[in-house]
Amino acid sequence: MQIKVMTNILDKNDQIAAEVNETLSAKGIFVVNLLGSPGCGKTSLLEQTICGLKNELSIAVIEGDLFTAKDAQRIEQHGVPVVQINTSGGCHLDANMVNCVLDSLELEKLDLIVIENVGNLVCPAEFNIGEDVKVTVLSITEGEDKPLKYPLIFQQASAVILNKIDLLPYTNFDMQSAVNDITGLNPDATLLQVSARTGQGLNEWYDWLKKQVRMKQARSIS
Amino acid sequence: MHEMAIAQGILDIVLKTASENDAVKVTSIKLLIGEMTQVEPESLKFGFAALSMGSIAEGAIVEITSVPLVGQCNGCGQQFAIEKYCFLCSNCNSTNVTVISGRELAVDYLEVE
């Protein structure tokens, strides 16, 4: 006997993601799913972002990591609430993992939650975790060929951040080619060039982020 | 290796559907997997075989139909195969393109006894 099913395999995850987003939207909190490969500078960018914006926005961080709390410890030094999720070898966060830690945060006080996903350009792209936007970081030293090699994570992003641009003179990175590939994959994405180390370009990133937070808050009030 | 998590999702759907239909054995499972998903078919089959051991879906044949990546232009209405991940309309070069297929990750149907 044949039974027609036609059910999305990730339905259960997507339902929980929608619930997480609903809970956080009710409090007017904007949620970023921060993606990128290991070593692309997600945590450094996040540290700079906290320093740059913590006087204007109330920020909390959820850190995804396979085994350690190293990134959470870095974030904690900047005086913002941080929750660690260890995936015990799992290659991505899923919506349930995020749902389970929401109680650890004082949501009433927050404007922005950044969820730093496990460093990986493949798996995290498939799993919504309750975010409003995905932001994908690509560092110059990874090479300009990565967007077409890992298209989904760049196609799903609302903003793509090219990090470590201070290293451009020391690499063969072809910026034009990277920009063309990312734009072809995702014409609507905001493309930002920054160096989390020197601070170059970060003001544009802060402005983008603040605008998103303000738009979210306006939507929640109306 | 997120195929394991996806395999678990498939098994949950298969066992729930089988139980709702009073099936005693699942013999085959047909999946629709879009071109723009990052699923490795052999890893997915391996993961499913491992997870389904001891259940009524153990030994079921997993068949995968790949769904091509197709976009539709919201400007001129053109439907076109998205090649080399270029999401610009092949007719008018518009950036306002909706993906109409190629992102599927679905259980299509089951064969049961």
Is B81 part of a structural domain of the chain?
no
Has residue A168 been placed in a domain? yes
List % helix, strand, coil for chain A (3-state, nearest 5): 45, 20, 35
Comparing alpha-carbon positions, the chain A residue that sits nearest to B108 is A6
The model's confidence at residue A220, banded by pLDDT at 50, 70 and 90, is confident
Using CA coordinates, name the residue in chain A closest to B88.
A184
Q: Looking at the domain assignment, is residue B13 inside a domain?
A: yes
Please give the pLDDT value at position A89.
85
Answer yes or no: do B6 and A188 touch at CB < 8 A.
Answer: no
Query: Does a structural domain hold residue B30?
Result: yes
| pLDDT tens digits, one per residue of A65-118 | 999 999 999 999 999 999 999 998 889 999 999 999 999 999 999 999 999 999
Quick check: A56 and A36 in contact, CB under 8 A? Answer: no
Q: Do B21 and A3 touch (CB under 8 A)?
A: yes
Main-chain phi, psi angles of B97, to 5 degrees: -120, 135
Tell whether pTM > 0.90.
Answer: yes
b/e per residue A145-172 (b: at least 16 CB within 10 A) = ebbbebbbbbbbbbbbbbbbbbeeeeee
Burial class (CB in 10 A: 0-12, 13-18, 19+), A79: exposed
In a domain, A1, yes or no: no
Q: Say what the pLDDT of residue A221 is.
A: 76
User: What is the Cα–Cα distance from B7 to B44, expressed in whole angstroms?
Assistant: 6
Residue B77 lies in a domain: no
Mean pLDDT of A14-35: 97
Judge whether A6 lies within some domain. no
The CATH code of the domain that includes A45 is 3.40.50.300
Residue A54, by phi and psi: left (phi above 0), alpha (psi -120 to 50) or beta? alpha
Q: Does A5 touch chain B (CB under 8 A)?
A: yes
Q: How many CB pairs under 8 A join A and B?
A: 99
Question: Does A5 fall in a domain?
Answer: no
CA A12 distance to own-chain centroid: 21
Does residue B79 belong to any structural domain of this protein?
A: no
The answer to the question of residue A4 being in a domain is no
Structure token pair of residue A80: 């913002």
Mark which residues 5-24 of B lie under 8 Å from A by CB.
Answer: 5-6, 9-10, 12-13, 17-18, 21, 23
Whether B93 contacts chain A with CB within 8 A? no
Which two three-digit tokens encode residue B81? Answer: 């195969």
- Backbone torsion region of residue A38, taken as left when φ is above 0, otherwise alpha when ψ lies between -120 and 50, otherwise beta: beta
What total number of domains does chain A contain?
1
Question: In terms of residue numbers, what domain contains B36?
Answer: 3-67+101-112
Q: Domain range holding A158? A: 11-217
Q: Please check whether residue A152 lies inside any domain of the structure.
A: yes
Q: What total of structural domains would you count in chain B?
A: 1
A79 domain-assigned: yes
User: Which residues in chain B are closer than 8 Å to A3, comparing Cβ atoms?
Assistant: 17-18, 21, 23, 109-112
Across the 113 residues of chain B, what is the mean pLDDT of every consecutive 10-residue run? 92 97 98 94 96 97 97 96 93 94 97 96
Q: Is B73 on the interface with A (CB under 8 A)?
A: no
Classify residue B42: in a domain, yes or no.
Answer: yes
What pLDDT, in 10s, does the model give residues A159-206? 999 999 999 999 999 999 999 999 999 999 999 999 999 999 999 999
Q: What is the CATH number of the domain that holds B16?
A: 3.30.2320.50
Whether chain B has a CB inside 8 Å of the CB on A4: the answer is yes
Q: Is residue B95 situated within a structural domain?
A: no
In a domain, B38, yes or no: yes
